[in-house]
Amino acid sequence: MTAATHDEVPVVLAGDGLEVRTKPIGGGMSVGYFRLPEGTDMGPALKGLDGDACQCPHWGYLLKGRLKMLTPTGEEEYEAGQAYYWGPGHVPVALEDCEYVDFSPTEDLRTVIDHVRSRAG
């Protein structure tokens, strides 16, 4: 069995109030703790991936805030207290300060994180 608290998971992306922490947790999956400040649009950071969108699936729970998810079929909104599944092909936009925890395939998540890092400079 494996467990990881927020503070035990290393920061892999940070800046301007955004914080992403991820750690492999077993079974080919990683846990992620995300904080997106209001107004964050991940679209520019995801440009260059297939469909200019995150191609990693995520299962999780929104702890705080409201988030709009842009998808090829339209927009969906999520709010604190909701569990979610985000399939490949999504772009998050924070409508309020957001915090969420999710579980994602480690290799898919690593691909997205590496891409976002390369776009940051």
- Which pTM does this prediction carry? 0.93
Range of the domain at 64: 6-120
The partner residues of 71 in beta bridges, in order of sequence, read: 74
Q: Domain for residue 101, yes or no? A: yes
Mean pLDDT of 10-29: 95
The enclosing domain of 115 has a CATH number of 2.60.120.10
Structure tokens at 74: 């339209």
Q: Domain for residue 74, yes or no? A: yes
Per-residue pLDDT at 2: 83
Question: How many distinct structural domains can be found in the chain?
Answer: 1
For the chain, what is the mean pLDDT? Answer: 95
What's the burial of 105, exposed, middle or buried (CB within 10 Å: 0-12/13-18/19+)? middle
Listed in sequence order, the residues at least 6 apart from 9 whose beta carbon sits closer than 8 Å to its beta carbon are 21, 22, 23, 31, 32, 33
Q: Domain for residue 30, yes or no? A: yes
Q: Domain for residue 1, yes or no? A: no
Express each pLDDT in 22-40 by its tens digit.
999 999 999 999 999 999 9
Q: Domain for residue 76, yes or no? A: yes
Q: Domain for residue 13, yes or no? A: yes
Exposure string for 71-83, b = 16+ CB within 10 A, e = fewer: eeeeeeebeeeee
Mean pLDDT of 95-121: 94
- Check pLDDT > 70 for residue 112: yes
Q: Domain for residue 10, yes or no? A: yes
Structure tokens at 120: 């940051």
Q: Domain for residue 40, yes or no? A: yes
